[in-house]
Each structure stands twice: as structure tokens, then as C-alpha cells.
Amino acid sequence: MWVYIEKISEYVEKEVTIKGWLYNIRSAGKLMFPILRDGTGMIQGVVSKKDVTEKVWESFGKLTQESSVIVTGKVSKHPKKENVYELQISDMEIVSISEPYPITPKEHGIDFLADKRHLWIRSPRQAAILRVRNEIIQSIREYMYNNGFILFDTPIFTPNACEGTSTLFSTDYFDLGKAYLSQSGQLYAESGAMALGKVYTLGPTFRAENSMTRRHITEFWMMEPEMAYFDLDDDMNMIEDFLEYVVQRVIKNKRAELEILERDVTKLEKVKKPFPRITYNEAVEILRQKDVPLIKKTANGEEQIRPFPWGEDFGAPHEEAIVENYDKPVMVHRWPAHAKAFYMKRDPENPDIALGVDVLAPEGFGEIIGGSQREDNLDYLLERIKEHELPESEFQWYLDLRRYGSVPHSGFGLGIERLVSWICNLEHIREAIPYARRPNRIRP
């Protein structure tokens, strides 16, 4: 009977067939120990010369790493290890002998592995990450469904920049001129919230920024909820509830994978409501107390400005300094308005402040969520569009949302790969997606 390795413990002392690949093989005279993988896990086989035919024995001798095989044998407990199973092999059929496999069970450089990404994903660590990614996305969809959110898929081809800031990828679009690849589905999601109450988008997003860091890819997946009648506090309440659900479900269902990744799960177990909420002003106070300066590039090098001036955006060292006090995600809210996007609503108590929130993951993973309450007043929004020198004509449909039954509403954007990086404790975001797209890499 064909079974998958992840279910192997249900078949102890039974004869089963596994269809998979040879991960590695060791031999000791009349014994061989092939390690098999089938996509769901790995198991060590035991081949004894006296228990198999001459043909099967010789076939095992021919196997190279990643050769595909169909193996039959009896499942047994490992003689030395608890909760580990082996396959006492009685028969084997070669499906295909692999050519010398480039990814040997030794160390490799990152550029080589990236070139061989189509094979790299077979390795236990990469496969574990992709299983966790699947669990994360499944948890997100489940949370959203269970909480009354409607999946609202937004277009990838768009006629203009959403926020007017990032550089966009462009392509020809028939007789209509240029089309741009979406850098956010938010504006469309806002229209969805006015139609359906609570909606979310989950899909690929594109940024043509030449960002060569461990936290950036040019094509990434973003989840963007948008909720009618939610103010900033409602938004933050949802963020905490949502993040707790996803993290706790992943550590419950994907413990084996997190172990392969050597993830310290106790740190994730602490991700429970409530999360610390600090205003931008309070964050600036922390930076001043810790004497973290603003570093400005000048013609002849760098200049350190202290105390940290109000109104400046935070860089990596500032996020680090703010987050290190906490072992949960930190929500920094109420930002200087001039540094933020045009659609953010101003604080009624202070027009210099925008009702935005950034969520900084613990352990130095930085921003994983950016959100805000949206400007729902037609006149203010028109003013912002003019200030940001955006083409008003392109935003008429968006402005309609304020003309016809405008309501307070809020939402946020979550970077899926950044969430995966944090939960899996990855050194680099390129491992958080099957095929990472970066400014200098589009293959394979």
C-alpha cells in the first residue's frame, strides 16, 4: 500500500510502499542505509543483503543522490531513537537514476543555491519553510473567513501609482498606453469595504525599488484587510487578534518544521494579546533616552544628529532600539503626517499627526505591517492629492467613495514573506517564497 512518510507512524509492523527520492545513502558491508524523502518527510531505510534479492541489492548500489525510487518494506521502530521509524526494505524499483546532484550534503554559498533554487527547495530546511508558509497563509484565510471578511481580489494591472511614492514596474497595455503592476490593492479594497463591509486582498505586489537588503524582494505577497466603520483603535485591535491567531496556530500545527528550522518557539509563544502600543512621540522619547542619533548622509560622509529630531522617519537602528524593550510585536501609532501617504486620516486633535500604525516584529525583524485609518472627508482628501501632486483625474473613482456615503474606515497591509521570515527566524527574505525576485535576480 502506498503511504506518505508523514503518516508512517500509523503503519508500524505493516508493509508499505513509499514513492519518493533518495536523499542520501550510507553503506556498511552487507547493510545499506538509504534515506528516503517523499515531500512529506524523510525516513531511513535498512537494506540487508541477506533479506533482498541480488537484483535489488545491486540496484541500491547504483543509486545516486536524488534518484527517484519506489520502495517497499516493513515499518519498524528505530532501535536507538524514540518516535523514529525505519523501513526494513524488501523491494525497490528505480524510477530514474539521477545525474550527479549539485547540492551535496555539505555547505554551499548563497549565490550557488539561488541559481539552483529549483533543486534547493528539496532540501529539508527549505521544504520546512514552504510548509510553514502554507500554514501561515491557510491560517490567514481561515481567520479572515471566520471573522466575516470577504476575499476581494484586486487588479494587478493598474493605470497609475497608488501611493505615488514607490517606483512601479510598467508594461505596454494595448491602445491605452502604460499599465503598472500593482504595488498595493488598498484603494480598490476600500471600495470593497464600502460594498461588503469587511474585505481583504491577498496576492502578489510589485515594487521596482532597487533595494538590496535581507528584508526586500521586488515581487512579494501582501494581505490587505479593509474595514468599514473601523477607526485606528479598531484597526489595532484587529491586528493583535489576527497576529496572535496566526502565530499560535502555526506553532501548534507546524512544530516539527519549526524544529528543523531551529526556531526558538518559546519566543513565539509569547505573542499573545495585548501588544504594546506606543505613539510616535513616545518612540522618539525612547530614542532620546537611549541616545540613538539620526544619521544623515552629507557630501563628506555622515552626520549624527542628537537628540533625535521630531518628524523624522525611523531607520533600522531606531526600530531596533524601540523593539528591544519588548518580546511582542510593537505597534507604533500616530506618525508625523508629512512622512506618510496621502490617504491617511489626520488626527482630529493634531493636524500634523496621521492616524497610521506600523507593527514592528520582535527579535529585530522590523516592520511587518503598515496600516492606518483612511481620510474619509472629500475636501481633505482632495487637498492631500493636490499636495502630493497626484493626477486628480485618475482618482475620481476613489473620490466617489467619499461622495457616496463616506464612512470612517481603516485597514492595513501585511507582508507575507516578512511574516514568514519572522516566524521561521530566517536570515534573509529570499528563503520565504519559492522563487524570490530581487533587483539582480529573475532566474530561475
Binding site for RNA (CB under 7 A): 24, 26-31, 33, 44, 46, 48-50, 64-65, 78-80, 86, 100-102, 104-112, 114, 163, 165-166, 184, 207, 209-218, 220, 222, 313, 315-317, 319, 339, 366-370, 413-415, 417-418, 428-429, 438, 440-441
Please count the residues of the chain: 444
Parallel/antiparallel/unpaired status of strands 178-181 and 170-172: antiparallel
Residue 149 or 220: which CB sits closer to RNA?
220
Residue 108 or 249: which CB sits closer to RNA?
108
69: left (phi over 0), alpha (psi -120 to 50) or beta: beta
Relative orientation angle of helices 396-403 and 186-196, to the nearest 10 degrees:
30
Residue 82 or 175: which CB sits closer to RNA?
82
Q: Give me the least distance between CB of 36 and RNA, in Å please.
A: 12
Q: Give me the least distance between CB of 403 and RNA, in Å please.
A: 26
Q: Give me the least distance between CB of 174 and RNA, in Å please.
A: 29
* 351-368 core/surface letters (b: 16 or more CB in 10 A; e: else): eebbbbbbbbbbeebbeb
Q: Give me the least distance between CB of 64 and RNA, in Å please.
A: 4
Q: Give me the least distance between CB of 117 and RNA, in Å please.
A: 11
Q: Give me the least distance between CB of 151 and RNA, in Å please.
A: 19
Residue 105 or 351: which CB sits closer to RNA?
105
* 274-288 core/surface letters (b: 16 or more CB in 10 A; e: else): ebbbbbbeebbebbe
Residue 11 or 101: which CB sits closer to RNA?
101
Q: Give me the least distance between CB of 200 and RNA, in Å please.
A: 14
Residue 378 or 390: which CB sits closer to RNA?
390
Q: Give me the least distance between CB of 405 and RNA, in Å please.
A: 26
Residue 234 or 367: which CB sits closer to RNA?
367
Q: Give me the least distance between CB of 189 and RNA, in Å please.
A: 13
Q: Give me the least distance between CB of 104 and RNA, in Å please.
A: 4
For residue 131, the Cα-to-chain-centroid distance in whole angstroms is: 12
Question: CA 111 to CA 426: how far, in whole Å?
Answer: 16
Residue 46 or 194: which CB sits closer to RNA?
46
Q: Give me the least distance between CB of 108 and RNA, in Å please.
A: 4
Residue 313 or 392: which CB sits closer to RNA?
313
Residue 170 or 210: which CB sits closer to RNA?
210
Residue 104 or 350: which CB sits closer to RNA?
104
